[in-house]
Amino acid sequence: MIINLSINFILSLIENNGYTAIFILMLLESIILPIPSEVVLPFTGFLISIGKLNFYLGFTDAVIASLLGSIIGYLLGYFLGIDIFIKASKKFGFKEIHCLFICWYNYMVWLVNIHGILFIK
């Protein structure tokens, strides 16, 4: 029920506001919010196919927003550090996140190497 409402809200936002909505949604999705790009981009493609949006502007808008969001997310993590994220996750009830970070720091080299080996074709 809540998922359908949020998807319908996202779709109406894109349809009514066009490039601005695409930019803001993709920016927020790349920073931290769980806004699925799987909802934003296919509907953008649909609006492009029926001629309501320009392909090049829609593509450029989504790419720049994603890159800018990734840079902002990185800078937030770099300057604020991991401690603020752990405190916020505990405040909102995500107690397992602390264990995840401990495991990540203890086994980071192994995880990165195994990940690299598994996806080589």
* CA distance linking residue 22 with residue 40, whole number of Å: 7
| Residue type for position 74 | Y
Looking at the predicted structure, is the pLDDT value of residue 59 above 80? yes
pLDDT score recorded for residue 95: 66
Write out the H or E segment, with its range, that includes residue 50: none
pLDDT band at 66 (very low <50, low <70, confident <90, very high): very high
pLDDT score recorded for residue 63: 94
pTM metric for this prediction: 0.69
* CA distance linking residue 18 with residue 95, whole number of Å: 39
Q: What is the distance of C-alpha 19 from the center of its chain?
A: 17
pLDDT band at 55 (very low <50, low <70, confident <90, very high): very high
pLDDT score recorded for residue 86: 72
**DSSP three-state, residue 54:** coil
Segment 78-117, tens digit of pLDDT: 888 777 777 777 777 666 666 767 776 777 666 666 665 6
| Residue type for position 24 | I
Q: Which of 5-19, 22-36, 49-63, 89-103 has the lowest mean pLDDT?
A: 89-103
Q: In 10 A of CB 92, how many CB atoms? A: 9
pLDDT score recorded for residue 7: 74
CB-based contact 86:97 (threshold 8 Å): yes
CB-based contact 58:22 (threshold 8 Å): yes
Looking at the predicted structure, is the pLDDT value of residue 1 above 70? no
